[in-house]
Amino acid sequence: MTTVSPHLVRRLAAEAVGTTALAAVVVGSGIQAAALSPDGGIRFLANVGASALALTVLIELLGPVSGGHFNPLVTAGAWWAGRRDGSGPALRELAWYAAAQTAGAVTGTGLANVMFGRPFAEPSGHGRDGTALWLGEAVATGTLLLLVAGLVRSGRGRLVPAAVGLWVGAACWATSSGGFANPAVTLGRALTDSYTGIAPGSVPGFVLAQLAGAAVGVTLAAVLFGRSRAARTTAVPGDARDLVAG
| Tens digit of pLDDT at every position of the chain (246 positions) | 456 788 899 999 999 999 999 999 999 999 999 999 999 999 999 999 999 999 999 999 999 999 999 999 999 998 888 777 667 788 889 999 999 999 999 999 999 999 999 999 999 999 999 999 999 999 999 999 999 999 988 889 899 999 999 999 999 999 999 999 999 999 999 999 999 999 999 999 999 999 999 999 999 999 999 875 544 443 344 455 444 332
List all residues 6 or more positions away from 34 whose beta carbon is below 8 Å from its beta carbon: 43, 194, 195
Residue 83, pLDDT score:
77
Residue 228, pLDDT score:
59
E strand segments, the chain = none
Distance from chain centroid for Cα 76: 11
Residue 34, pLDDT score:
97
d(C-alpha 207, C-alpha 108), whole Å: 19
Eight-state DSSP code of residue 6: H
* Stated pTM of the model: 0.89
DSSP string across 69-106: --SHHHHHHHHHHHTTTT-S--HHHHHHHHHHHHHHHH
